[in-house]
Amino acid sequence: MSRVNLQEDEITRAAQWLADIARWPDEPADVLVARFDLKVWQALKAVDRARKMKLYRRVHG
C-alpha cells in the first residue's frame, strides 16, 4: 500500500470518528491533530469529510 493511501485511510478514520460523535468540540481540527497525529491540512480535510458524512447520513437515513 502506498503512503498516499495510508494518509487517506487515516483521514477517513478520523472523519468517521468525528462524524460518529454527537457533540463536536469547538475546534475539531485541533482535536483530530492531537488524537490521530494528523497534520493540520489532513485534519481540515477530515473535518470536511465528516461534515459530508453527517449530511449523507441525515439525507439517506
Q: How much is the pTM? A: 0.88
49: part of which helix (H) or strand (E)? helix 40-60
How many angstroms separate the CA atoms of 49 and 51, rounded?
Answer: 5
C-alpha cell at 52: 459530508
What pLDDT digit, counting tens, does each position of 1-60 carry?
Answer: 566 677 889 999 999 999 999 999 999 999 999 999 999 999 999 999 999 999 988 898
pLDDT given for residue 41 in this prediction: 97
User: Are 53 and 16 in contact, with CB atoms under 8 Å apart?
Assistant: yes
pLDDT given for residue 61 in this prediction: 75
pLDDT given for residue 1 in this prediction: 57
How many angstroms separate the CA atoms of 8 and 48, rounded?
Answer: 13
What is the distance, to the nearest Å, from the Cα of residue 34 to the centroid of all Cα atoms in its chain?
A: 12
